[in-house]
Amino acid sequence: MIKNKNIFYYVLFFVAIFIFWFLSKRNYLLFHSIIELFAILTAFCIVFLSYITFKYLKNNLILNLGTTYLFVVIVDILHTLSYKGMGVFKTFDANLPTQLWILGRTLETIGLSLIIFLKEKLNKIIYFSILLLFTSIELILIFLRKFPQCFIEGKGLTSFKIGMEYLFIFILGLTLIYIITKKDLPKIFLNAYIYTIVFTILGELSFTLYTDVYGFFNMLGHLFRFVSYLIILFGINSKFLIFTIENLTDQLQKEREKYKHLAEYDQLTGLYTRNFFNEWILNNIQKLKQYEKDVLVIMDIDNFKEINDKYGHLQGDEVLKFVGRTMIESFRVEDILVRFGGDEFLIILKNIDLEKAEKVINRFIEKLSFNKFPFNLTISYGVSEFKYNNYLEILKITDLKMLEMKNKKNK
Protein backbone atom coordinates (compact mmCIF):
# COMPACT_ATOMS: atom_id res chain seq x y z
CA MET A 1 0.00 0.00 0.00
CA ILE A 2 2.80 2.42 0.96
CA LYS A 3 4.77 1.48 -2.19
CA ASN A 4 1.72 2.17 -4.40
CA LYS A 5 1.23 5.49 -2.62
CA ASN A 6 4.85 6.49 -3.31
CA ILE A 7 4.47 5.53 -6.99
CA PHE A 8 1.38 7.72 -7.17
CA TYR A 9 3.33 10.70 -5.78
CA TYR A 10 6.19 10.16 -8.24
CA VAL A 11 3.75 10.00 -11.16
CA LEU A 12 1.98 13.12 -9.90
CA PHE A 13 5.32 14.91 -9.60
CA PHE A 14 6.41 14.11 -13.16
CA VAL A 15 2.99 15.04 -14.53
CA ALA A 16 3.29 18.41 -12.76
CA ILE A 17 6.80 18.90 -14.22
CA PHE A 18 5.46 18.15 -17.71
CA ILE A 19 2.58 20.61 -17.26
CA PHE A 20 4.97 23.33 -16.09
CA TRP A 21 7.30 22.64 -19.01
CA PHE A 22 4.40 22.77 -21.48
CA LEU A 23 3.14 25.99 -19.89
CA SER A 24 6.61 27.58 -20.13
CA LYS A 25 6.64 26.89 -23.89
CA ARG A 26 3.24 28.51 -24.35
CA ASN A 27 3.46 31.48 -21.99
CA TYR A 28 6.68 31.79 -20.04
CA LEU A 29 5.57 34.79 -17.98
CA LEU A 30 2.49 32.89 -16.81
CA PHE A 31 4.67 29.85 -16.03
CA HIS A 32 7.11 32.01 -14.07
CA SER A 33 4.34 33.70 -12.10
CA ILE A 34 2.70 30.37 -11.21
CA ILE A 35 5.92 28.55 -10.29
CA GLU A 36 7.06 31.51 -8.19
CA LEU A 37 3.66 31.72 -6.52
CA PHE A 38 3.88 28.03 -5.59
CA ALA A 39 7.45 28.51 -4.37
CA ILE A 40 6.48 31.55 -2.29
CA LEU A 41 3.51 29.74 -0.73
CA THR A 42 5.75 26.75 0.01
CA ALA A 43 8.35 29.04 1.60
CA PHE A 44 5.64 30.67 3.74
CA CYS A 45 4.59 27.21 4.91
CA ILE A 46 8.22 26.43 5.77
CA VAL A 47 8.46 29.62 7.84
CA PHE A 48 5.11 29.07 9.55
CA LEU A 49 5.76 25.42 10.45
CA SER A 50 9.30 26.20 11.62
CA TYR A 51 8.11 28.81 14.10
CA ILE A 52 5.14 26.69 15.22
CA THR A 53 7.23 23.56 15.86
CA PHE A 54 9.95 25.59 17.63
CA LYS A 55 7.39 26.67 20.20
CA TYR A 56 7.11 23.06 21.34
CA LEU A 57 10.43 21.42 20.37
CA LYS A 58 12.78 24.35 21.11
CA ASN A 59 14.99 23.25 18.20
CA ASN A 60 17.21 26.12 16.99
CA LEU A 61 18.08 24.27 13.81
CA ILE A 62 14.50 24.17 12.53
CA LEU A 63 13.85 27.75 13.73
CA ASN A 64 16.89 29.14 11.89
CA LEU A 65 15.77 27.28 8.78
CA GLY A 66 12.45 29.11 9.04
CA THR A 67 14.24 32.44 9.57
CA THR A 68 16.33 31.81 6.44
CA TYR A 69 13.27 31.27 4.27
CA LEU A 70 11.47 34.21 5.83
CA PHE A 71 13.99 36.55 4.22
CA VAL A 72 14.30 34.41 1.09
CA VAL A 73 10.55 34.62 0.49
CA ILE A 74 10.59 38.43 0.85
CA VAL A 75 13.23 38.65 -1.88
CA ASP A 76 11.40 36.02 -3.98
CA ILE A 77 8.25 38.15 -3.93
CA LEU A 78 10.20 41.16 -5.18
CA HIS A 79 11.89 38.96 -7.81
CA THR A 80 8.48 37.76 -9.07
CA LEU A 81 7.03 41.29 -9.22
CA SER A 82 10.08 42.63 -11.04
CA TYR A 83 10.25 39.90 -13.69
CA LYS A 84 10.37 40.99 -17.29
CA GLY A 85 6.85 41.62 -18.57
CA MET A 86 5.20 42.10 -15.15
CA GLY A 87 5.30 45.88 -15.50
CA VAL A 88 5.62 46.61 -11.77
CA PHE A 89 9.08 48.25 -11.76
CA LYS A 90 8.85 49.98 -15.14
CA THR A 91 12.14 51.88 -14.92
CA PHE A 92 14.13 48.65 -14.48
CA ASP A 93 15.02 45.98 -17.04
CA ALA A 94 15.70 42.21 -16.75
CA ASN A 95 18.78 42.96 -14.64
CA LEU A 96 16.62 43.75 -11.55
CA PRO A 97 14.95 40.31 -11.16
CA THR A 98 18.32 38.65 -11.80
CA GLN A 99 19.96 40.75 -9.07
CA LEU A 100 17.12 39.90 -6.70
CA TRP A 101 17.52 36.25 -7.64
CA ILE A 102 21.21 36.38 -6.67
CA LEU A 103 20.30 38.01 -3.36
CA GLY A 104 17.68 35.34 -2.65
CA ARG A 105 20.10 32.53 -3.47
CA THR A 106 22.80 34.20 -1.35
CA LEU A 107 20.47 34.19 1.64
CA GLU A 108 19.46 30.58 0.96
CA THR A 109 23.09 29.40 0.61
CA ILE A 110 24.16 31.25 3.77
CA GLY A 111 21.26 29.76 5.68
CA LEU A 112 21.59 26.16 4.48
CA SER A 113 25.31 26.20 5.24
CA LEU A 114 25.47 28.11 8.53
CA ILE A 115 22.65 26.03 10.00
CA ILE A 116 24.70 22.89 9.40
CA PHE A 117 28.15 24.14 10.39
CA LEU A 118 27.05 26.04 13.52
CA LYS A 119 23.92 24.09 14.51
CA GLU A 120 22.82 25.03 18.06
CA LYS A 121 25.68 27.56 18.36
CA LEU A 122 23.86 29.76 15.84
CA ASN A 123 21.96 32.12 18.14
CA LYS A 124 18.47 32.66 16.74
CA ILE A 125 18.26 36.37 17.63
CA ILE A 126 21.73 37.21 16.31
CA TYR A 127 21.07 35.19 13.15
CA PHE A 128 17.76 36.96 12.53
CA SER A 129 19.41 40.35 13.08
CA ILE A 130 22.28 39.57 10.69
CA LEU A 131 19.90 38.45 7.93
CA LEU A 132 17.69 41.49 8.48
CA LEU A 133 20.64 43.89 8.23
CA PHE A 134 22.22 42.10 5.26
CA THR A 135 18.95 41.86 3.30
CA SER A 136 18.10 45.52 3.96
CA ILE A 137 21.52 46.76 2.80
CA GLU A 138 21.50 44.58 -0.33
CA LEU A 139 17.97 45.66 -1.31
CA ILE A 140 18.93 49.31 -0.91
CA LEU A 141 22.00 48.77 -3.11
CA ILE A 142 19.92 46.97 -5.75
CA PHE A 143 17.22 49.63 -6.01
CA LEU A 144 19.82 52.42 -5.95
CA ARG A 145 21.49 50.59 -8.89
CA LYS A 146 24.72 50.17 -6.89
CA PHE A 147 24.64 46.37 -6.97
CA PRO A 148 26.84 44.65 -9.61
CA GLN A 149 25.09 43.93 -12.90
CA CYS A 150 23.86 40.36 -13.31
CA PHE A 151 22.09 40.42 -16.69
CA ILE A 152 22.58 42.60 -19.79
CA GLU A 153 19.83 42.71 -22.37
CA GLY A 154 21.01 41.24 -25.68
CA LYS A 155 24.14 39.72 -24.11
CA GLY A 156 22.89 37.55 -21.27
CA LEU A 157 24.42 36.73 -17.87
CA THR A 158 27.37 38.71 -16.57
CA SER A 159 30.51 37.05 -15.25
CA PHE A 160 29.57 38.29 -11.76
CA LYS A 161 26.25 36.46 -11.87
CA ILE A 162 27.78 33.23 -13.19
CA GLY A 163 30.61 33.49 -10.67
CA MET A 164 28.14 33.88 -7.82
CA GLU A 165 26.21 30.82 -8.97
CA TYR A 166 29.41 28.74 -8.96
CA LEU A 167 30.27 30.14 -5.52
CA PHE A 168 26.87 28.98 -4.27
CA ILE A 169 27.48 25.55 -5.79
CA PHE A 170 30.92 25.36 -4.15
CA ILE A 171 29.61 26.34 -0.68
CA LEU A 172 26.61 24.01 -0.95
CA GLY A 173 28.89 21.23 -2.19
CA LEU A 174 31.10 21.61 0.90
CA THR A 175 28.00 21.58 3.08
CA LEU A 176 26.78 18.43 1.34
CA ILE A 177 30.13 16.67 1.85
CA TYR A 178 30.12 17.70 5.52
CA ILE A 179 26.61 16.33 6.04
CA ILE A 180 27.34 13.01 4.32
CA THR A 181 30.63 12.43 6.15
CA LYS A 182 29.62 13.65 9.61
CA LYS A 183 26.03 12.33 9.67
CA ASP A 184 25.45 14.22 12.91
CA LEU A 185 22.07 15.61 11.92
CA PRO A 186 18.90 14.14 13.42
CA LYS A 187 17.65 11.21 11.30
CA ILE A 188 14.38 13.04 10.82
CA PHE A 189 16.40 15.81 9.15
CA LEU A 190 19.29 14.11 7.33
CA ASN A 191 18.02 12.70 4.00
CA ALA A 192 15.67 15.58 3.27
CA TYR A 193 18.45 18.11 3.88
CA ILE A 194 20.78 16.24 1.52
CA TYR A 195 18.16 16.21 -1.27
CA THR A 196 17.37 19.87 -0.65
CA ILE A 197 21.00 20.83 -1.23
CA VAL A 198 21.29 18.54 -4.30
CA PHE A 199 18.28 20.14 -6.00
CA THR A 200 19.47 23.62 -5.00
CA ILE A 201 22.84 22.89 -6.63
CA LEU A 202 21.10 21.59 -9.79
CA GLY A 203 19.08 24.79 -9.85
CA GLU A 204 22.21 26.94 -9.56
CA LEU A 205 23.89 24.99 -12.38
CA SER A 206 20.86 25.61 -14.60
CA PHE A 207 21.02 29.32 -13.87
CA THR A 208 24.58 29.52 -15.15
CA LEU A 209 23.52 28.28 -18.60
CA TYR A 210 20.65 30.48 -19.77
CA THR A 211 20.98 33.46 -22.09
CA ASP A 212 17.29 34.33 -22.22
CA VAL A 213 15.16 34.97 -19.13
CA TYR A 214 12.40 33.07 -20.93
CA GLY A 215 14.71 30.18 -21.92
CA PHE A 216 14.75 26.45 -21.13
CA PHE A 217 17.52 26.49 -18.51
CA ASN A 218 15.84 29.37 -16.70
CA MET A 219 12.66 27.30 -16.58
CA LEU A 220 14.61 24.23 -15.40
CA GLY A 221 16.35 26.23 -12.67
CA HIS A 222 13.00 27.45 -11.33
CA LEU A 223 11.66 23.89 -11.26
CA PHE A 224 14.72 22.59 -9.38
CA ARG A 225 14.43 25.43 -6.88
CA PHE A 226 10.70 24.70 -6.36
CA VAL A 227 11.46 21.01 -5.78
CA SER A 228 14.07 21.94 -3.15
CA TYR A 229 11.42 24.01 -1.34
CA LEU A 230 8.97 21.09 -1.45
CA ILE A 231 11.57 18.75 0.02
CA ILE A 232 12.10 21.12 2.93
CA LEU A 233 8.36 21.46 3.46
CA PHE A 234 7.41 17.78 3.24
CA GLY A 235 10.72 16.16 4.11
CA ILE A 236 11.67 18.34 7.06
CA ASN A 237 8.93 20.68 8.30
CA SER A 238 6.05 18.22 7.97
CA LYS A 239 8.08 15.52 9.75
CA PHE A 240 8.93 17.94 12.53
CA LEU A 241 5.25 18.90 12.71
CA ILE A 242 4.26 15.22 12.97
CA PHE A 243 7.00 14.72 15.57
CA THR A 244 5.69 17.78 17.46
CA ILE A 245 2.12 16.45 17.39
CA GLU A 246 3.30 13.02 18.55
CA ASN A 247 5.38 14.67 21.27
CA LEU A 248 2.43 16.78 22.43
CA THR A 249 0.16 13.74 22.33
CA ASP A 250 2.68 11.83 24.42
CA GLN A 251 2.90 14.73 26.90
CA LEU A 252 -0.89 14.93 27.11
CA GLN A 253 -1.08 11.19 27.69
CA LYS A 254 1.51 11.45 30.48
CA GLU A 255 -0.39 14.37 32.01
CA ARG A 256 -3.61 12.39 31.76
CA GLU A 257 -1.98 9.41 33.46
CA LYS A 258 -0.52 11.72 36.11
CA TYR A 259 -3.89 13.27 36.98
CA LYS A 260 -5.60 9.87 36.75
CA HIS A 261 -3.06 8.58 39.27
CA LEU A 262 -3.67 11.61 41.50
CA ALA A 263 -7.41 11.01 41.30
CA GLU A 264 -7.14 7.28 42.01
CA TYR A 265 -4.36 7.12 44.62
CA ASP A 266 -4.05 8.96 47.90
CA GLN A 267 -0.66 10.72 47.85
CA LEU A 268 -0.08 10.34 51.58
CA THR A 269 -0.85 6.67 52.12
CA GLY A 270 -0.54 5.16 48.63
CA LEU A 271 -4.03 3.65 48.98
CA TYR A 272 -6.94 4.11 46.60
CA THR A 273 -9.02 7.27 46.98
CA ARG A 274 -12.72 7.50 47.71
CA ASN A 275 -13.16 8.83 44.16
CA PHE A 276 -11.61 5.64 42.76
CA PHE A 277 -13.82 3.47 44.99
CA ASN A 278 -17.00 5.24 43.86
CA GLU A 279 -16.09 4.90 40.17
CA TRP A 280 -14.99 1.30 40.64
CA ILE A 281 -18.33 0.38 42.21
CA LEU A 282 -20.42 2.20 39.58
CA ASN A 283 -18.42 0.88 36.60
CA ASN A 284 -18.39 -2.73 37.82
CA ILE A 285 -21.67 -3.04 39.68
CA GLN A 286 -23.21 -5.65 37.34
CA LYS A 287 -20.12 -7.84 37.38
CA LEU A 288 -19.61 -7.40 41.13
CA LYS A 289 -23.15 -8.63 41.90
CA GLN A 290 -21.90 -12.11 40.99
CA TYR A 291 -19.53 -12.11 43.97
CA GLU A 292 -21.19 -13.22 47.18
CA LYS A 293 -18.09 -13.93 49.30
CA ASP A 294 -16.54 -10.47 49.57
CA VAL A 295 -16.25 -8.76 52.97
CA LEU A 296 -16.42 -5.04 53.67
CA VAL A 297 -14.28 -3.53 56.43
CA ILE A 298 -14.49 0.09 57.58
CA MET A 299 -11.77 1.25 59.99
CA ASP A 300 -11.08 4.45 61.88
CA ILE A 301 -7.99 5.47 63.89
CA ASP A 302 -8.88 5.95 67.52
CA ASN A 303 -8.38 9.41 69.04
CA PHE A 304 -6.81 10.75 65.85
CA LYS A 305 -7.95 14.33 66.55
CA GLU A 306 -6.22 14.22 69.94
CA ILE A 307 -3.03 12.91 68.26
CA ASN A 308 -3.08 15.86 65.85
CA ASP A 309 -3.81 18.36 68.61
CA LYS A 310 -1.14 17.06 70.98
CA TYR A 311 1.64 15.96 68.61
CA GLY A 312 0.95 18.10 65.53
CA HIS A 313 -0.36 17.42 62.05
CA LEU A 314 3.02 16.24 60.74
CA GLN A 315 2.95 13.45 63.34
CA GLY A 316 -0.63 12.78 62.32
CA ASP A 317 0.51 12.42 58.71
CA GLU A 318 3.15 9.92 59.79
CA VAL A 319 0.44 7.89 61.51
CA LEU A 320 -1.65 7.84 58.32
CA LYS A 321 1.41 6.82 56.27
CA PHE A 322 2.20 4.01 58.74
CA VAL A 323 -1.36 2.71 58.69
CA GLY A 324 -1.46 2.83 54.89
CA ARG A 325 1.91 1.08 54.58
CA THR A 326 0.89 -1.62 57.07
CA MET A 327 -2.38 -2.20 55.17
CA ILE A 328 -0.49 -2.73 51.91
CA GLU A 329 1.85 -5.19 53.65
CA SER A 330 -0.96 -7.05 55.46
CA PHE A 331 -3.63 -7.54 52.81
CA ARG A 332 -3.60 -9.26 49.44
CA VAL A 333 -3.03 -7.64 46.05
CA GLU A 334 -6.57 -8.41 44.95
CA ASP A 335 -8.08 -6.70 48.01
CA ILE A 336 -9.31 -3.12 47.56
CA LEU A 337 -7.64 -0.76 50.07
CA VAL A 338 -9.09 2.74 50.27
CA ARG A 339 -8.44 5.85 52.32
CA PHE A 340 -12.10 6.77 52.59
CA GLY A 341 -11.53 10.17 54.15
CA GLY A 342 -9.49 11.74 56.95
CA ASP A 343 -8.50 8.89 59.27
CA GLU A 344 -11.17 6.50 57.96
CA PHE A 345 -10.24 3.51 55.80
CA LEU A 346 -12.25 1.04 53.75
CA ILE A 347 -11.22 -2.45 52.70
CA ILE A 348 -12.94 -4.96 50.43
CA LEU A 349 -11.54 -8.40 51.16
CA LYS A 350 -12.13 -10.52 48.07
CA ASN A 351 -13.49 -14.08 48.17
CA ILE A 352 -13.39 -14.60 51.92
CA ASP A 353 -15.89 -15.36 54.69
CA LEU A 354 -16.45 -13.31 57.87
CA GLU A 355 -14.54 -15.69 60.14
CA LYS A 356 -11.38 -15.59 58.05
CA ALA A 357 -11.80 -11.85 57.54
CA GLU A 358 -11.78 -11.31 61.32
CA LYS A 359 -8.52 -13.26 61.60
CA VAL A 360 -6.91 -11.19 58.82
CA ILE A 361 -8.01 -7.94 60.49
CA ASN A 362 -6.66 -9.05 63.87
CA ARG A 363 -3.28 -9.87 62.32
CA PHE A 364 -3.27 -6.40 60.80
CA ILE A 365 -4.13 -4.78 64.17
CA GLU A 366 -1.31 -6.76 65.79
CA LYS A 367 1.15 -5.40 63.18
CA LEU A 368 -0.02 -1.87 63.96
CA SER A 369 1.14 -2.27 67.53
CA PHE A 370 4.76 -2.53 66.36
CA ASN A 371 5.41 1.16 65.94
CA LYS A 372 7.68 3.87 67.37
CA PHE A 373 4.99 6.44 68.14
CA PRO A 374 4.97 7.97 71.64
CA PHE A 375 1.31 6.98 72.08
CA ASN A 376 -0.89 3.93 71.80
CA LEU A 377 -2.07 3.44 68.18
CA THR A 378 -5.35 1.53 67.90
CA ILE A 379 -8.23 1.32 65.46
CA SER A 380 -11.94 0.62 65.58
CA TYR A 381 -13.59 -1.26 62.76
CA GLY A 382 -16.82 -2.67 61.44
CA VAL A 383 -17.08 -5.75 59.21
CA SER A 384 -19.93 -7.08 57.05
CA GLU A 385 -20.56 -9.38 54.15
CA PHE A 386 -20.57 -7.09 51.12
CA LYS A 387 -23.70 -7.39 48.99
CA TYR A 388 -23.05 -5.29 45.91
CA ASN A 389 -26.69 -5.07 44.89
CA ASN A 390 -27.31 -3.12 48.12
CA TYR A 391 -23.84 -1.69 48.71
CA LEU A 392 -24.94 1.72 50.05
CA GLU A 393 -26.95 0.10 52.81
CA ILE A 394 -24.05 -2.24 53.64
CA LEU A 395 -21.69 0.75 53.83
CA LYS A 396 -24.03 2.44 56.31
CA ILE A 397 -24.43 -0.69 58.45
CA THR A 398 -20.67 -1.34 58.53
CA ASP A 399 -19.93 2.26 59.42
CA LEU A 400 -22.38 2.00 62.34
CA LYS A 401 -20.61 -1.17 63.52
CA MET A 402 -17.31 0.72 63.50
CA LEU A 403 -18.85 3.60 65.48
CA GLU A 404 -20.32 1.13 67.94
CA MET A 405 -16.85 -0.35 68.62
CA LYS A 406 -15.40 3.13 68.98
CA ASN A 407 -18.10 4.17 71.47
CA LYS A 408 -17.51 1.05 73.57
CA LYS A 409 -13.80 1.92 73.81
CA ASN A 410 -14.61 5.48 74.83
CA LYS A 411 -16.92 4.23 77.64
pLDDT, tens digit, 9 for 90 and up, residues 300-352: 999 999 999 999 999 999 999 999 999 999 999 999 999 998 999 999 998 88
Judged by average pLDDT, the poorest of 110-124, 141-155, 231-245 is 231-245
Q: Compute the average pLDDT of residues 359-378.
A: 91
Judge residue 270's burial from the number of C-beta atoms within 10 Å of its C-beta, 0-12 exposed, 13-18 middle, 19 or more buried.
Answer: middle
- The per-residue pLDDT of the chain, averaged, comes to 85
Task: Please tell me the predicted confidence (pLDDT) of residue 167.
Answer: 93
Q: Compute the average pLDDT of residues 40-49.
A: 82
- Where do the structural domains in the chain lie, given as residue ranges? 2-256, 272-410
Q: Compute the average pLDDT of residues 255-282.
A: 87
Task: Please tell me the predicted confidence (pLDDT) of residue 67.
Answer: 92
Judged by average pLDDT, the poorest of 9-13, 86-90, 267-271 is 9-13
Q: In whole angstroms, what is the distance from residue 120 CA to residue 60 CA?
A: 6
Task: Please tell me the predicted confidence (pLDDT) of residue 243.
Answer: 67
CATH 3.90.320 is held by the domain 2-256 = no
Task: Please tell me the predicted confidence (pLDDT) of residue 57.
Answer: 67
Is the pTM higher than 0.85? The answer reads no
Q: Are 294 and 280 in contact (CB under 8 A)?
A: no
Q: Are 35 and 223 in contact (CB under 8 A)?
A: yes
Domain 272-410: CATH superfamily, name plus number: Reverse transcriptase/Diguanylate cyclase domain (3.30.70.270)
Q: Is the pLDDT of residue 16 over 80?
A: no
Task: Please tell me the predicted confidence (pLDDT) of residue 273.
Answer: 92
Q: Compute the average pLDDT of residues 111-115.
A: 88
Comparing 3 with 245, the larger pLDDT belongs to: 245
Measure CA 32 to chain center. 37
Q: In whole angstroms, what is the distance from residue 411 CA to residue 406 CA?
A: 9
Share of the chain above pLDDT 90, in %: 38
Share of the chain above pLDDT 70, in %: 91
Task: Please tell me the predicted confidence (pLDDT) of residue 227.
Answer: 81
Task: Please tell me the predicted confidence (pLDDT) of residue 3.
Answer: 52
Q: Are 214 and 28 in contact (CB under 8 A)?
A: yes
Q: Are 394 and 387 in contact (CB under 8 A)?
A: yes
Q: In whole angstroms, what is the distance from residue 262 CA to residue 122 CA?
A: 42
Q: How confident is the model at residue 263 (pLDDT cuts 50, 70, 90)?
A: confident
Q: How confident is the model at residue 118 (pLDDT cuts 50, 70, 90)?
A: confident
Q: Compute the average pLDDT of residues 48-74.
A: 82
Q: Are 270 and 369 in contact (CB under 8 A)?
A: no
Range with the largest mean pLDDT of 31-40, 107-116, 278-287: 107-116
Q: Is the pLDDT of residue 408 over 80?
A: yes
Comparing 236 with 295, the larger pLDDT belongs to: 295
Q: Which amino acid is at 276?
A: F
Q: Compute the average pLDDT of residues 185-193.
A: 73
Task: Please tell me the predicted confidence (pLDDT) of residue 154.
Answer: 80
**DSSP secondary structure letters along 84-150:** TTS-SSTT--THHHHHHHHHHHHHHHHHHHHHHHHGGGS-HHHHHHHHHHHHHHHHHHHHTT-SPP-
Task: Please tell me the predicted confidence (pLDDT) of residue 185.
Answer: 67
Q: How confident is the model at residue 240 (pLDDT cuts 50, 70, 90)?
A: low
Task: Please tell me the predicted confidence (pLDDT) of residue 391.
Answer: 83
> 3-state class of 272 per DSSP?
strand
Judged by average pLDDT, the poorest of 70-74, 208-212, 397-401 is 208-212
